[in-house]
A and B are shown apart, each in its own frame.
Chain A
C-alpha cells in the first residue's frame, strides 16, 4: 500500500523567512496530494492541494510543487508569519480513494 514520508519533523524559521516541507510517496498511482494545517487543539484544515496532472500550484504565500517522476511533493510558505505556526500534514490519495497522511511537521515561526 501507499507510504508517505515527511521531512523535517520540526522546523523553526524567523518571521519573514520561507519554510519548505517535503513529502515522498510510494504508490505511483496516487493522483491527489493535499496539505493540511492543524493548530493546537483544532481540526486539520486544507490549505492547498495539487493533482497529478499539475506540476505547481500557488495561492498567495503558499505553493505546492509535485514531481511525479521522483514521487515527491513540497509545500512552500513565503514571508512566514507567527500565525503560520502549526503542524502541517501532507497526504496522498491513490486509486482506492483512501488517504495516507505523513507524520506531520511542527512549524514554529519566531517573531
Chain B
C-alpha cells in the first residue's frame, strides 16, 4: 500500500536559515506527491505537487521539493525561513488505483521559526 512517512514531527529553525522537512514515500510505482501547509485554525493550502514532469518542483512562498526515486524521498526545502512559515506541513500521496478523492497524509511536521 502507498504511504508517506514524515521523518520529523517537529523542526525548529531560526529566521533566515534554511528549512528542510523530510518525507519518504512507499510505492511500487511513480506516485503523485504533494506538500500541503496548515496554519493555525486554517484549512490546508497546497504548496507544490509532483506528477513526474520534473524531479525538482517549485511551489509557492519560495518552497521547493525534489523527487528522488533512488531514495524514495520527496523532501521540502526553503533557502531562508520567514516567521510566517511557522505552521504544520503535510506530505501527501495519491494512492494507486485511486477512484478519486482520496489523499493519504503523513503525520505532519510542525515547523517553528525563531526570531
Answer yes or no: are A and B bound together in one complex.
no
